[in-house]
A and B are shown apart, each in its own frame.
Chain A
Amino acid sequence: TQLLEQSPQFLSIQEGENLTVYCNSSSVFSSLQWYRQEPGEGPVLLVTVVTGGEVKKLKRLTFQFGDARKDSSLHITAAQPGDTGLYLCAGAPGNTGKLIFGQGTTLQVKP
């Protein structure tokens, strides 16, 4: 079973702080995706990383795909209350196109 494990599961920080969320697996993925979900809504795709070692930036968010394509990280610089939400990593085992999700990291940014 290809599992995606996220850490930490819960993070509560003050506005302006930096943070990193990790997504790890013992299996190789062809790509990994990061989603953000707000309460009562569905997840929204933030980014897809495809190439081992790839780094993508989305404003204050930096996403990295591990060289071996088994792990990924999300770094947020100068977090803001609007960053509050559930962050999910996801990957597709094999070529089915079916995504499996990590258990999520709940981020709370206090003003």
Chain B
Amino acid sequence: DTGVSQDPRHKITKRGQNVTFRCDPISEHNRLYWYRQTLGQGPEFLTYFQNEAQLEKSRLLSDRFSAERPKGSFSTLEIQRTEQGDSAMYLCASSLDLSPSNYGYTFGSGTRLTVV
């Protein structure tokens, strides 16, 4: 296993277009998280899954955002009708569901989204 993979690494899109990002977690990790990060700031929680169930969504996640993890493996994050304020690094992380607050997350390298 090579860790958490995110695709694409970079995405430039025009305002109003839809974009979709993919995350492949570490195979034995049940939990998968999405975060958004702007330059020089800490990651902000967006949503997380345990297996295929989406357990929590942040208020930051507007109706334009949707995330899925259909078979409890990879996950996708879709942003519809992108706005310039959506420009950020989107980070995916995974963890075991055994006290992840003690064992920590493994993050992917992120997808850098630029909306022009």
Residues on A facing B (Cβ under 8 Å): 4, 6, 30-31, 33, 40-45, 48, 50, 86, 88, 90-92, 96-104, 106
Task: Check B85 for interface membership: any CB of A closer than 8 A.
Answer: no
Which residues of B83-116 are within 8 A (CB) of A?
91, 93, 95, 97, 99-110, 112
Contact of B31 among A42, A43, A97, A103 (CB under 8 A): A97
Q: Check if A91 sits within 8 Å of B43, measured CB to CB.
A: no
Residues on B facing A (Cβ under 8 Å): 4, 31, 33, 35, 40-45, 48, 55-56, 91, 93, 95, 97, 99-110, 112
A99 CB, min distance to chain B CBs, angstroms: 6
CA distance A92 to B40 in the complex (A): 21
CA distance A109 to B42 in the complex (A): 20
> Which of chain A's residues have a CB closer than 8 A to the CB of B95?
97
Interface residue SS majority, chain A: loop
Closest to B95 in A: A97
CA distance A6 to B43 in the complex (A): 13
> Which of chain A's residues have a CB closer than 8 A to the CB of B43?
43, 88, 101
CA distance A30 to B99 in the complex (A): 10
Contact of B101 among A40, A44, A99 (CB under 8 A): A99
Closest to A95 in B: B101
Q: Check if B42 sits within 8 Å of A101, measured CB to CB.
A: yes
A8 CB, min distance to chain B CBs, angstroms: 13
Q: Check if A42 sits within 8 Å of B97, measured CB to CB.
A: no
